[in-house]
Amino acid sequence: MAEELGLRERKKLQTERRVWRTAVELFLERGFEKVSVQEIAAAAEVSKMTVFNYYGSKEDLVLKPMEHHAGDAAHAVRTRAPGESAVAAVCRQFVELLELRDPSVGLCDQQEVLSIRRLIVETPGLLLRAYANRMHGLQQLADVLAAETGGDRMEAQVAAGQLMAARNALINENHRRLLAGESADAVYPDAVAAAHRAFGLVEQGLGDYATRPAE
């Protein structure tokens, strides 16, 4: 029975991946709005109902794999070592993912990954959903911080907002440079340095940042 269940789960995973890859190929070829779920189902040789069994919406066909990373920052804080600050934990995790050239931190220059990024940016519905995903990640981080500190929930929201703003700015910059034609390996040293600077700002507080010079 265990072997049968294992085989069944593997087949489900294979079907889910086939549907996703088929959808992405069609979206990249023709545009997100010009492809129907029925066309995706036909091309993947499954029923329309099967598509929706794996993906709750058309947007999920692009974004669902990425949404597994929404809680990355929260996970870094939740599992950090004794004596490690929340800022240090999020920075450390980010730099580790940069070294792996992980798509979740914007430093993967595989053509398919870059093409999907362009598709998201050029499709308002996908861009809105991606923004909602980031906000979900912020809320998860705020929940962890509030639970651990037992402090003011507003303070936890402010801290989470600063951490996620830094993280998202770094990801956006990595995407910008890769989409402009630079390689991940070329960007990597600058990306690591930028991560330390960005999270350093959060750690130290804005202080006198952007103080207007006296006349």
Q: Which stretches does DSSP call E strand in 93-156?
A: none
Q: How much is the pLDDT for 3?
A: 55
CA distance 141 to 135: 10
Amino acid at 158: V
Cβ atoms of 81 and 88 within 8 Å: the answer is: no
Q: Which stretches does DSSP call E strand in the chain?
A: none
Amino acid at 208: D
Q: What is the mean pLDDT of residues 142-170?
A: 93
H/E element, 14: helix 2-30
CA distance 143 to 137: 10
pLDDT tens for residues 178-213? 999 999 999 999 999 999 999 999 999 877 766 668
Please state the pTM of the whole predicted model: 0.87
Q: Which domains are seen in the chain, by residue range?
A: 2-58 (1.10.10.60), 68-204 (no CATH)
Q: How much is the pLDDT for 149?
A: 87
- Banded pLDDT at 6 (limits 50, 70, 90): confident
pLDDT tens for residues 130-144? 999 999 999 999 999
